[in-house]
Amino acid sequence: MRYFNICIGAFLLFMPFALSAQNGWENDGEIENVEIEIVKDREIKLPSANRNFEKIPPTTVDASKQEIEYFYNNINFDLPDLNVRVRPLRVKDERLSKLYGNYVKAGFGNYTTPYVEGFFNSKRSKEYSYGAHFNYLNSKKGPVDDDNSGSGKIDVDLFGKYFTKKATFSGDIGFNQRLYHFYGYPEGQEVDADTLKQFFNNYYIKGSVENSDEKSDFHYHTGVRFDYLKDNRDATETDAQLNIKFEYTLSEQSFVRLGGDIEAISREDNLVEKEARNLFRIRPSFGFDYEGFKIVVGFNTVYENDTLGDAGEMHFYPIARASYPFSESIELYAGIGGDIKKNTLKTLSEENPYVDSNIGIYHTNKTFDLYGGINGKLSSKLGFGAGFSAANYKNMYYFVNSTADQSKFEVIYDTGNTTVFNVFGQLSLNTDERFRLSARGDYWGYGVNDVEEAWHKPNYKISSLASYNLFDKFLFTAEAYAIGGIMARDTETGDAVKLDALFDFNFKTDYLVSDQVSVFLQFNNIFSKEYEVYYHYPSRGLQFMAGLTYSF
């Protein structure tokens, strides 16, 4: 403010002189000498300004309410009556795809081979299921002298199941026939065709009941079966079986299990008196987890009254098995065990249908079996497995051609110890349900005691099966297998004869015409190799068949 006052004072002092000078310029135009004295110490004081702090009074407002009048005009519209129907929204039930539970398949092939097969099943039900199966395949002609080497089979089966919340009941009744001819006679020999025919008729009935409550800690399965076998050479055999299996879960890591079998076998032949052979087996075990291992230990006790070797004795076998998950996709396992292998006319004739009449039939005692292996997956589509087994047997059976008739086979037994070593490997591939492949290879080594060779037992077998689905219209299936190392005994010299290795390749294609109709074409033994699985019994060459399938 001080400097401000100085400036104002200087301005006021200067104004009179400026005005007078202006007047002088106007009068005579001359500038006089004037001295101006500026006093810096002069102070200019201004009077204080008056300020009015009085507030402006608020404006007076009339708060009285005015009444508002409303006028209503009635407007009438003549509209027709509106009939509103309310339809509740419903969620559509998902339509089930049509189920074709039945189909009939028929075809015809070379060697005068008609083929008919049918499956008939009940439709969807939560309480029961039932059905029937029929199969007829007959090749009138064969590889040797046409009708003298024909073969065929017939299967008829009725089955059903009944489901409850606690148990499932099932039953089957059926009939099987297998027809063969003894065509392994010497070439050029005159034979009576009526004496060559051989067939086995088997009638069976079976039933079972098992626990269907998955949440229960107690699980059981009980089954019965009765077989009656008869051939055309006065041989008959009955086999009544009862088997049980109980399992109780103690915890998530442990369980106890009890299994048992009772079998009563009776056989009669034209030169063999009726004989009864009984077999009783009980197998308790205990399973638990220990530091990643899954372990099962127990024992197997078997009583049998066979008439060969140590028959009529009680047999005791320790049982143990352990598995370990090496990784999430690989499992290792190993174990030991032993058992009695049941041999009957039915089981032996299924393995070799050309057995002679009045053969000796005895059980085989597997006294010891040590095994181990590995299972795993290399990916979600590729799996593998490999393992071994080293076992010792007593009364191991073998097939040799009869010295009286080379077209028939006798059954001989090694009453000493027979060691059998087996190694195997297998592979499986599944690509999006389009392509599937499975392959397995086995090798067996035999150490015999009272016989010269392991007659008609192969040393190796390689098999594979592949299928491919093309556009859901074509299904291609191929099968190949090779078997070798089979030894046979010559009936004249008694010398061992090694059969040629066999290789068989089969191919089949199905074309889906519609959801209900398809046609098929099948080829067997494409390379037409007349190999021998049994000595003096060459197989058929190339076989083909065409047919039709109808589902309904």
pLDDT in tens, 262-274: 999 999 998 888 8
What digits encode the pLDDT tens for the residues 508-533? 999 999 989 999 999 999 999 999 99
What percent of the chain is predicted at pLDDT more than 70? 81
Grade residue 59 by pLDDT with cuts at 50, 70 and 90: low
- Cβ contact 315:305 at 8 Å: no
Instruction: Tell me yes or no: is domain 103-551 CATH 2.40.170.20.
Output: yes
Give the residue-averaged pLDDT of 79-88: 46
Q: Which pLDDT value is given to residue 472?
A: 87
Nearest partner of 535 among 364, 401, 418, 426, judged by Cα:
401
Q: What is the DSSP letter of 540?
A: P
- Domain positions in the chain are 1-44, 103-551
Grade residue 70 by pLDDT with cuts at 50, 70 and 90: very low
Query: What DSSP line would sit under 349-404, residue for residue?
Result: HHH-TTBPTT-----EEEEEEEEEEEEEESSSSEEEEEEEEEEEEEEEEEEEE-SS
* Widest CA span in the chain: 182
Give the residue-averaged pLDDT of 144-168: 94
d(Cα 499, Cα 533) in Å, to the nearest integer? 8
Grade residue 89 by pLDDT with cuts at 50, 70 and 90: very low
Grade residue 74 by pLDDT with cuts at 50, 70 and 90: very low
Beta strands 502-512 and 517-524: pairing type? antiparallel
Q: Which residue has the higher pLDDT, 350 or 29?
A: 350
What digits encode the pLDDT tens for the residues 192-251? 988 999 999 999 999 999 998 888 899 999 999 999 999 998 899 999 999 999 999 999
Grade residue 144 by pLDDT with cuts at 50, 70 and 90: very high
Which contacts of 396-399 are long-range, i.e. CB under 8 A and separated by 24 or more positions?
396/364, 396/420, 396/448, 397/343, 397/348, 397/362, 397/364, 398/451, 398/453, 398/454, 398/455, 398/456, 398/457, 399/352, 399/355, 399/455, 399/456, 399/534
Grade residue 54 by pLDDT with cuts at 50, 70 and 90: low
Q: Which pLDDT value is given to residue 552?
A: 87
Q: Which pLDDT value is given to residue 27?
A: 46
Q: Which pLDDT value is given to residue 55?
A: 53
Task: Point out which residues pair with 442 in neighbouring strands.
Answer: 424, 461
Nearest partner of 134 among 108, 161, 106, 95, judged by Cα:
106
* Displacement of CA 183 from its chain's centroid (Å): 41
What digits encode the pLDDT tens for the residues 5-16? 554 555 555 454
What digits encode the pLDDT tens for the residues 333-380? 999 999 999 999 999 999 999 999 999 999 999 999 999 999 999 888
Q: Which pLDDT value is given to residue 25?
A: 40
pLDDT of 494 strictly over 80: yes
Q: Which pLDDT value is given to residue 8?
A: 53
Both structure tokens of 99: 């189920």
How many other C-beta atoms are found inside a 10 Å radius of the C-beta of residue 188? 5
Q: Which pLDDT value is given to residue 310?
A: 61
d(Cα 44, Cα 1) in Å, to the nearest integer? 10
Give the residue-averaged pLDDT of 276-291: 94
> What residues contact 192, with CB distance under 8 A and at least 6 apart?
none
pLDDT of 91 strictly over 50: no
| Mean pLDDT of all residues belonging to the chain | 86
Q: Which range (67-76, 338-347, 390-399, 496-505) has the least confidence?
A: 67-76
Degrees to nearest 5, angle at CA 362 with 275 and 171:
75
**Amino acid symbol at 102:** N
Task: Point out which residues pair with 208 in neighbouring strands.
Answer: 170, 223
How many other C-beta atoms are found inside a 10 Å radius of the C-beta of residue 302? 20
pLDDT of 82 strictly over 60: no
What digits encode the pLDDT tens for the residues 415-459? 989 999 999 999 999 987 789 999 999 999 999 999 999 999 999
Q: Which pLDDT value is given to residue 99?
A: 61
Helix, strand, coil % over all residues of the chain, rounded to 5: 5, 55, 40
Rounded to two decimals, the pTM is 0.78
Nearest partner of 309 among 414, 236, 444, judged by Cα:
414
Give the residue-averaged pLDDT of 489-496: 92
- Cβ contact 365:281 at 8 Å: no
Q: Which residue has the higher pLDDT, 145 or 95?
A: 145
Grade residue 134 by pLDDT with cuts at 50, 70 and 90: very high
Q: Which pLDDT value is given to residue 125?
A: 83
pLDDT of 102 strictly over 50: yes
Q: Which residue has the higher pLDDT, 33 or 419?
A: 419
